């Protein structure tokens, strides 16, 4: 039976029946492409330049970080094909129905965080657009009413888009890929003409530690942030679809637009010091495009952010249901957007800038998510099928209840990896450290490899216990 585009999706976290699983990897290519063609790639590129990377180094970091991390998303998509259920629902099989609450809660925080960032960025685009057209202030702090209107309007559009469900998302993302992909290529051509290449030529390169840190920032800000949603869309894929095709669809679908957008941000940041110092990432557009084109692109960038945000809200709704909160998915979406609206307004009016809180957010959540990824990937090596009824059975009689609802063989490595990984990070609000781990001064900490150490440690600790049921 086909899924109607004009009706709200009624399916929650229960495994999708084989009769409804007719998807193909090309559909996922469009999904990941459109979700990653947003203007948020620009501040990621600017952040690489702020680290001291040269343009070639920034492009290398963008390619390795985005393509590599989304290849992981593609691998996790294979579990969605096998089990027909969302990522965090499948995660019950390894953590237990109660032990899975921790990873699921972290996943929900990640989705809410990204929605907050998307909403704040869209509101800043609206603020900057109004400053062009009506002469108002160009920052959220100086134009709070406009910022709030932009945030609320963006959330309203998100609710309208996200509620339609999986089938509508596939259609919207496909056409959006062509439309906004072409527009961004046009903007990229304008930027290449206006970039100050003489300034770029005098910029020295950074050391190995800074390049590795850049790769980590890009990975944490792209694929790692989406990894725990990998199976959410792939659960509608045909069982006959190969794992390699799913990996390629995610890595290429997200990697192509991300390298383009991050590269654009690096070019802008490297040739214009005002962009590096601005608290508004939309200054990258203001400073480099002709005013009529900049104003148009600012409006279009809001739509680009919407493409990413409605996919995130869709996934967050499924994650909320996995926590055991028994409400219709549409109501889960509404609860979600109330939280992100409040968070984005607070972010806009209280934070001193965009880049510092943005990097801090992706750095902190990368640690527990990386630990979950390590355990999930190892578990996939030992498990290629899931018991659908038991994924939904929260009672003591369920297959995945284990010991009191917790499978310590997975939960303990997850917690241990988080604890050790956190020793290597530093969290700042831009210039002032909020938290500095005791091992941050080591080469691993300075190179920004805490997330990778966390992933490897979680995988290594879980591997010998993967077949144990305790």
Residue listed under structure tokens 């709070």: 144
Nearest Cα neighbor of 448 from 127, 221, 192 is 221
Rounded distance between C-alpha atoms, residue 189 and residue 262, angstroms? 15
- CATH code at position 329: 1.10.4160.10
Burial of 384: CB neighbours in 10 Å, binned 0-12, 13-18, 19+: exposed
Q: Is residue 378 a part of any domain in this protein?
A: yes
Least confident among 37-41, 124-128, 207-211, 383-387: 37-41
Burial of 46: CB neighbours in 10 Å, binned 0-12, 13-18, 19+: buried
Q: Is residue 330 a part of any domain in this protein?
A: yes
Rounded distance between C-alpha atoms, residue 41 and residue 39, angstroms? 5
Q: Is residue 35 a part of any domain in this protein?
A: yes
Identify the pLDDT of residue 1. Answer: 37
Q: Is residue 254 a part of any domain in this protein?
A: yes
Identify the pLDDT of residue 309. Answer: 82
Q: Is residue 107 a part of any domain in this protein?
A: yes
Radius of gyration, alpha carbons of the chain: 21
Q: How far is CA 164 from CA 2, 33, 161, 194, 268, in A?
A: 14, 19, 6, 41, 37
Over residues 256-264, the mean pLDDT reads 90
Instruction: Please report, rounded to a whole number, the percentage of residues in the chain having pLDDT higher than 90.
Output: 41
pLDDT-derived band of residue 61, with 50, 70 and 90 as boundaries? very high
Rounded distance between C-alpha atoms, residue 399 and residue 18, angstroms? 22
SS3 state of residue 143: coil
Helix (H) or strand (E) holding 427: strand 426-428
pLDDT, greater one: 332 or 296 = 296
Count of domains in the chain? 1
Range of the domain at 185: 19-468
Residue listed under structure tokens 């929650």: 12
Q: Is residue 377 a part of any domain in this protein?
A: yes
Q: Is residue 7 a part of any domain in this protein?
A: no
Q: How far is CA 84 from CA 13, 363, 385, in A?
A: 9, 30, 10
Q: Is residue 295 a part of any domain in this protein?
A: yes
Over residues 419-430, the mean pLDDT reads 88
Nearest Cα neighbor of 281 from 153, 119, 121 is 121
Rounded distance between C-alpha atoms, residue 40 and residue 385, angstroms? 36
Nearest Cα neighbor of 40 from 354, 345, 346, 423 is 354
Identify the pLDDT of residue 146. Answer: 92
For the chain, the maximum distance between any two Cα atoms, rounded to a whole number of angstroms, is 69
């Amino acid at each position: 039976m086909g899924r109607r585009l004009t009706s709200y999706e009624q399916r929650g976290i229960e495994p999708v029946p084989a009769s409804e699983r007719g998807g193909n990897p090309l559909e996922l290519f469009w999904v990941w492409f459109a979700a990653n063609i947003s203007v948020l790639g620009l501040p990621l590129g600017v952040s690489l330049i702020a680290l001291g990377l040269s343009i070639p180094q920034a492009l290398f970091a963008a390619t390795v970080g985005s393509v590599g991390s989304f290849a992981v998303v593609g691998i996790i998509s294979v579990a969605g094909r096998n089990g027909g259920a969302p990522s965090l629902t499948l995660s019950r099989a390894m953590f237990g129905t109660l032990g899975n609450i921790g990873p699921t809660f972290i996943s929900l925080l990640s989705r809410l965080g990204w929605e907050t960032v998307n909403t704040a960025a869209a509101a800043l685009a609206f603020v900057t657009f109004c400053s062009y057209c009506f002469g108002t202030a160009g920052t959220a702090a100086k134009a709070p009413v406009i910022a709030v209107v932009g945030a609320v309007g963006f959330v309203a559009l998100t609710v309208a888009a996200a509620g339609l469900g999986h089938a509508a998302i596939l259609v919207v993302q496909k056409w959006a890929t062509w439309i906004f992909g072409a527009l961004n290529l046009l903007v990229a051509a304008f930027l290449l003409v206006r970039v100050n290449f003489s300034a770029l030529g005098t910029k020295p390169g950074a050391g190995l530690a800074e390049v590795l840190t850049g790769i980590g920032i890009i990975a944490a800000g792209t694929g790692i942030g989406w990894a725990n949603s990998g199976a959410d869309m792939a659960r509608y894929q045909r069982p006959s679809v190969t794992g390699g095709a799913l990996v390629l669809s995610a890595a290429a679908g997200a990697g192509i637009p991300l390298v383009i957008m991050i590269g654009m941000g690096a070019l802008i940041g490297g040739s214009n010091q005002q962009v590096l110092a601005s608290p508004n990432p939309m200054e990258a557009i203001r400073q480099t495009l002709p005013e009529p084109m900049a104003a148009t692109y600012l409006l279009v960038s809001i739509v680009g952010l919407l493409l990413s945000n409605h996919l995130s809200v869709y996934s967050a709704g499924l994650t909320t249901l996995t926590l055991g909160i028994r409400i219709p998915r549409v109501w889960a979406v509404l609860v979600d957007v109330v939280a992100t609206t409040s968070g984005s307004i607070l972010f806009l009016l209280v934070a001193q800038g965009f880049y510092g809180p943005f990097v801090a957010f992706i750095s902190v959540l990368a640690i527990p998510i990386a630990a979950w990824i390590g355990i999930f990937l190892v578990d996939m090596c030992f498990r290629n099928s899931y018991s659908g009824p038991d994924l939904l059975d929260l009672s003591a009689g369920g297959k995945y209840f284990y010991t009191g609802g917790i499978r310590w063989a997975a939960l303990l490595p997850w917690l241990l990896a988080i604890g050790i990984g956190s020793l290597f990070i530093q969290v700042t609000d831009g210039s002032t450290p909020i938290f500095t781990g005791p091992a941050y001064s080591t080469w691993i900490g300075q190179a920004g490899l805490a997330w990778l150490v966390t992933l490897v440690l979680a995988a290594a600790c879980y591997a010998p216990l993967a077949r144990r049921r305790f």
